[in-house]
Every structure is written in C-alpha cells, then in structure tokens.
Amino acid sequence: MSAPSYVRWFSDIRLEDVPLVGGKNASLGELYSALSVEDVRVPNGFALTAAAYRDALAQAGAETKLRELLDGLDTGNVDVLMNRSAVAREIVYAATDGEELRRQITNGYRLLETQYGSGCAVAVRSSATAEDLPTASFAGQHESFLNIRGAESLFEACRRCFASIFTDRAIVYRVDNGFDHFKVALSVGVMKMIRSDLGASGVMFTLDTESGYRDAVFVTGVYGLGETIVQGRADPDEFYVHKPTFRKGYRAVLRRALGKKQVRMVYAEAASGATTEDVVVVDAEAARFCIDDATALKLAGHAIAIEDHYSRRAGHPTPMDIEWAKDGEDGGLYIVQARPETVVSQRSTQSFATFSLKGTGPVLATGRAVGEKIAAGIVRVISGVHDLSAFQPGEVLVSDTTSPDWEPVMKTAAAIVTNRGGRTCHAAIVARELGVAAVVGAADVTRTLQTGMTVTVSCAEGDVGRVYEGRIPFEATQVPLTGLERPRTAIMVNLGNPDIAFRTSMLPNDGVGLARMEFIISEDIRVHPMALAQPEKVTDPGAQQAIAKLVAGYARPTDFFVEKLSEGVGTIAAAFYPKPVIVRLSDFKTNEYASLIGGGEFEPKEANPMLGFRGASRYAHPAYAAGFALECAALRRVREVMGLSNLCVMVPFCRRVEEGRRVIEVMAENGLRRGENGLEVYVMCEIPNNVIQIDAFAALFDGFSIGSNDLTQLTLGVDRDSEIVAFDFDEGDAGMLEMFRMAVSGAKRNGRHVGICGEAPANDPEIARFLTGLGIDAISVNPGSLLRTMTVVRDAERARGAPARASA
C-alpha cells in the first residue's frame, strides 16, 4: 500500500480545508489561489496535513502517554503545567521522527528550491484545526521558526512545530475554550521567506483594535521581520486609512503615529548557530517611518480586498487580522497571513461598557492604551518566568514585555503594564482577548513601579493609557446600542479629542455639533501657528529648539501644522462619516495662545482675554492671518484630499456682521469657499448681537449653534469663573430663555439650521424641554450626557405628541 500524501500545496488549498490543514493554512491557500487577481501577492509554499500529525502519534502509540500527562491537569499550577507540557512536547517530537514524513518534507522543499533557488529560506508556522469549531484562531499559541534553510533543518523545524501543540499557553487556551486536546490537531505551513529583514513588515486589521470601529484599516509596521511586533520588543509605526473614502477613490492616510522601533530582527549569520538575531535601530532610522504613505495606502487596499473576499465567502462582514512583509530586495509587498479577527469583532452589538474615572491622582507612567477599561490593584513586577509563581490573582502585572508562556498568569491579572510594545504586541493581543486593561510601551515602568504599590490603570482616556498612584474610584456604565427610541430632534456630541472619536461614534448620535480645534493644537501640535508660519520671529532659544525637534522631517514647519491638524480633525470627521461634523475654528484666548511654544512672541497681554483678541477678530487681522491660512489649509486637506465632505466649518465669537463678512471672504481666499463642493459655514450664536441681528447673520451663514456658556455670561454680565458672582450664572434665567427663543425663531424664519452646543440642556432638563418645544434642530452635548439628554428630549417630544424616530 502506498503511503498517504501529507503535503498539500497552497494552490490546492481553500477555506473549506480547515479540517485538513487548519485555519492558517486554509487561509493561505485561499489567499494564494483567489486573491492574485486583486494584485495581492502571497509567497508560495505547502502544508503538512493534520493527518501527518495524527498518524505519527498513532504509529508511536503516543496518545495514551499524553492522556496520562494531561488528564486532571491543574492549569493554574504554573510549575506543574510547565513540567508536564515539556514532557508532552518531547513525546510528540519523538513520534514525528518518521522516514516517510522526512521524505515528503524533503521533496516539497526541493520543489520550492526549483522556484526560489537552492537553499531558499522558509518560514515554518503552525496551523491548528478544531473539528468542533473550525473558526477558532489559536493565534500565538504555537511555535514559528524563521529563516530555515536546507531539507534537514526544515524537517527538524517541522517536528518542533508539531511538538508546540503542547506549549503551556496552548494547553491553557484549549482548556479555557472548551477544546478536547485530542480533537485538535496541528498542520504545519512551510512558506518562502520574504526578505523583510532588509525591508519592513507588520500587522494590519480591518477595524480599530480598541473600539471595534469597522470603517478603518489599522496598519502597524517595523523594520525587519515582524516577530518583534508580536513579541513586544519594538514599538511599531501606526497608520489609519478610512475605508469609505478609500472606496470612493481618495488616497490619504487618515492618521499616523511614529513608533520607537527599537530593534530590527534580521537573518543571522550561519556560523552563529541561530537563524535570526536582533539589531539595534539607530536613532536616525527610528525617527523615520518604516514605510511611506504610498505603501501604507497600498497595504490598506490589499486589506480591503481581502476583507471583501472573506466577507463574500462567509456571507457576512468579516473583519480581518493580516500579516504583511515588504521585501528589501525587490521592493514588493506580500501578504503572509490573513485570518478573521476573533476578539474585537465578536463583542456584543447590543451594548457596550463605558468607563470613567471619578477622581484623579499623580500619574506614575503613560503608554499606549489597550482596550478602554479601568482597573486597580497591587503591583507585581515580573522580570522573568521564575517570578510567575508568586503572582496573585487580581494583581497588576508589570514587566518589560510579556511572553506567550505567561498567559496562564496574565488571565488572572487586574491589568497589565509593559515597558515596550505597541497595540499589536503579545501583551496587547492577550489583554484584548481576555478583556484586561493594559498599557504598553510605558518606558521604564519596571523601575517606576515597585511590587506592593497600589495603582489604578486607566485606558478610558483615549490612546494614552495612564497609571495613577493609589486606588482611584471609577464608574462603568452599560450603554445600549440597539432598540433605543430616538427623538426627532438631532442629538449630537461635542468632541475635541480625536483619540476617543472612534469609540464615541459608536454611541447613538446624529453627528458632531461641536468639534473643537483647541485640543488638537494644544496636545498634538503644541506650537503657536504663527511661530510655524514666521519662525524667523521666534527669538527664545528654548522655543527654537523645541520647534526644531517637532518639525524635524518636514519640508517646511507649516507642513507639520497642516498635517497634524488635518489628521486630528479628519479622524473625528471620519469616525462619524457620513454624519455632519461641525468643526469650530480656533478660539483660544490670547493668554492661552501665549502658552503655546513660541506664543509669547506673537500675543498681546490683555486685561480681559475673554473679551479680547479671540475668535473671528483674529482671522483677517495681520497679527494672525498667516496662522489662519494654516487652519484653512488643514480643513481643505480634510475635505478635498481625505474626501471627508461631511465636515462643516463654524466661526466662533463673531461680534459684528461686517466681521462675519470679512471672515467669509478670507476663508474663500484660502480655498474654503462657502457652497463650493457642498461646504457649509456656520456661526456661533454666543454674543447678544448675534441674536439681535440674526437676520443679517443668516444672510452670511448656513446655520447657527448657540453657545450657551458665553451667551449667558454676556447676557447676564456674569463671570462664571468668579467665586463671588458665579451663583448668578443661570442659563435658565427668564432673559436667557428669551434669548434662546429669539435665536431659534430667527434662524427658522430665515430657513437656517439652528442647534445648541453648550451643556445647558444636559445640566438642566427644563432647558432641554424648553428648546425642544421651540423646535430646535439639534442639541449637542458631551458624550457622557448623550443618553440622558436623549431621554429628556424624547419625553418632551412625546408630551407634545411628536412621533418617535425609528429605533436605532
């Protein structure tokens, strides 16, 4: 009888072959066979079938020994788990030393050599199959071997790969997920290596890994082989691409972040005995992105094509987790793995939890937030596997990086904090899957935090995760996403921080009624716009040095401002696309502008900045005209280059009609022409003169947004920040209600949109009811007030007999 064939080439494999070759290899075959027409390049290779594994164990009588080892195993006992898993691996390694398997692996390698050259390097990766759940990912549970050359070395790598079915983490994974150890088999994939050691590589997802937002491709990359990303030893560069506008033909990176990229994994010299080694990335290289925008966009196109293909095959949207490599010799881009994303995309679509701190404290460390939870506990610093047995459930695990073999302990942690790593490193992946708060890339945290300290780990404040001293109270709220009765009145959100835009957009909403520029300028840019437009006027050496560091790598200082502002505003516009997003032009006061880097050179000192050189008065003034031109350039880039035409522009603190007319003219001179390509220009209604002359302002602007804070201060003559008279600040005063009535009726009389973007309706339900009764078009509040305001407005509408909107 002839021996069974254990080798299946990628060209002969499809997604239906999961029971035969496991999920990863089935996916590689699908990619290789079906995606080439989409210009998606996949290196050739073959799979050793799961039958090779099963037959080897059966012929060696290994299953009985393995059952004796694993039956009744307490996976919570780290020491026993490590000992028994090591013995299990030895059993499988010995069982797979068969001559027939060796012959077939050798023949497969010889055929690869005919395509790629003698002694070609291959990657050897595991691919698990589970008969009762073929879609199980088993991501990161087994071993991979890189830069394997020669038939004999390949055979040894395949045996070690088979044996890795019994790593500590794989055993725990199967137990935790209800898999029978003996119903899961291992297939081994052998693929031609791409010379990304000379180029770059990374991981990308067709959703945002933290919020679950589906309309973005998230690309990460490092120099060299991509294992350093997963292992958390290199913090990667990050890029976001917006899928809906990409599909419309726009080609722009939505947002990017420069990673530290500390090390590059490369092929090792043969004499060293190792197959790979790490090389430190020099500062000049680390200061540059590992790929350019064109490459990131091409990768995003591949990711979208792959997601579309898998979604068609599955019959439903299928977000993907994809590995890519850029060959440093031929410059080609290759996809080396793709599988359905099985963590974030599986979250409940009925509701989601929001977390918020109810206090504050000293910040001990910051890094990249993973997930959006908050947790508190006692610190346990782990320097190596020898420390794991001391770890207690509910402690905060602090380490340089994490290892896959730590997973049994990681699942009991209250939170995880690491010195190194990005949002696709091992610690981040495991934390996300386990639902544990994690902060990665928090430099020197193993020195900053000490075992025994009590800390609070917050991932609920955007991309930046913070470790606070002490136990800070926090609140978790479950937010419904479906079945919520929505009012007819549009309920929008106020937002300034792009880091929380994707997450916030998943709340029930009708768009953004107020997107503030100030947060982006103060947090991401930090430099006064005029100091970038006219750097020769900056005389302070400290400011000159700080600016030079920030703008390094840009052709002009102004390019830094335009890119950063457009990315921040664009992220908010993309998150809510195609709903309207109303961005307010900068409205710093002079003292706030002066606090920006280089700002002291350009700002006057005013006794009362609140009533001084702010808002519309700045935009056409020689003292700020060049800075305003940069704001306009950034907004043009959002609308025209990024394709986010849902962006509306709003002019703040416009005192007089003539001032408004001049601002409209200057905007047009800077390429933002009202009405062109659907551009709408709104004005804040926050000065009594805006209400008094609303007919004249309506002739200039497309809509109004009532700013209740400033309008109340100026109507009642009250400084709400004064402890002595703050009690007189009352947005529900009869005079204020009349101001609201005049503003709403005046806007409607002129056929103009009118909303309110102050917190008055959220703070006082009576004001919300009053505005609803006036027929206001939109009420925009902070995210935390959204559901409360929605309920009040819906009740007010119901009392008036207004029909409900269709349930969300």
Residue 560: name the closest of 539, 535, 541, 581 by CA: 535
Q: Are 703 and 680 in contact (CB under 8 A)?
A: yes
Take residue 77 and report the two structure tokens written for it: 């006992």
What is d(CA 598, CA 600) in angstroms, rounded to the nearest whole number? 6
Q: Is 528 a catalytic residue?
A: no
Take residue 279 and report the two structure tokens written for it: 């090389």
Angle subtended at Cα 251 by Cα 250 and Cα 252, rounded to the nearest 5 degrees: 110
Out of 290, 459, 648, 757, the active site residue is 757
What is d(CA 206, CA 229) in angstroms, rounded to the nearest whole number? 18
Take residue 607 and report the two structure tokens written for it: 């006794």
- Dihedral class, residue 751 (left if φ above 0, else alpha if ψ from -120 to 50, else beta): left
Angle subtended at Cα 303 by Cα 297 and Cα 305, rounded to the nearest 5 degrees: 105
What is d(CA 498, CA 571) in angstroms, rounded to the nearest whole number? 6
- Alpha helix segments (H runs only) across 96-134: 99-116
What is d(CA 130, CA 435) in angstroms, rounded to the nearest whole number? 24
Instruction: Using alpha carbons, list the distances in angstroms from residue 242 to 201, 248, 575, 804.
Output: 21, 10, 9, 32
Q: Are 486 and 807 in contact (CB under 8 A)?
A: yes
- β-partners of residue 446 are none
Rounded to the nearest 5°, which phi and psi values hold at 74? -85, 100
- β-partners of residue 455 are 377, 469
What is d(CA 341, CA 323) in angstroms, rounded to the nearest whole number? 12
Q: Is 426 a catalytic residue?
A: yes
Out of 242, 426, 528, 753, the active site residue is 426
Q: Are 123 and 148 in contact (CB under 8 A)?
A: yes
H and E: helices and strands count for the chain: 30, 30
Q: Are 756 and 776 in contact (CB under 8 A)?
A: yes
- Dihedral class, residue 405 (left if φ above 0, else alpha if ψ from -120 to 50, else beta): alpha
Residue 209: name the closest of 372, 2, 357, 333 by CA: 372
What SS3 class is residue 369?
strand
Q: Are 405 and 487 in contact (CB under 8 A)?
A: no
The pairs formed by 541-550 with CB atoms below 8 angstroms and a separation of 24 or more are 543/597, 543/598, 543/600, 543/601, 546/597, 547/597, 547/598, 550/525, 550/526, 550/597
Q: Are 632 and 647 in contact (CB under 8 A)?
A: no
Q: Which residues are catalytic?
A: 426, 757
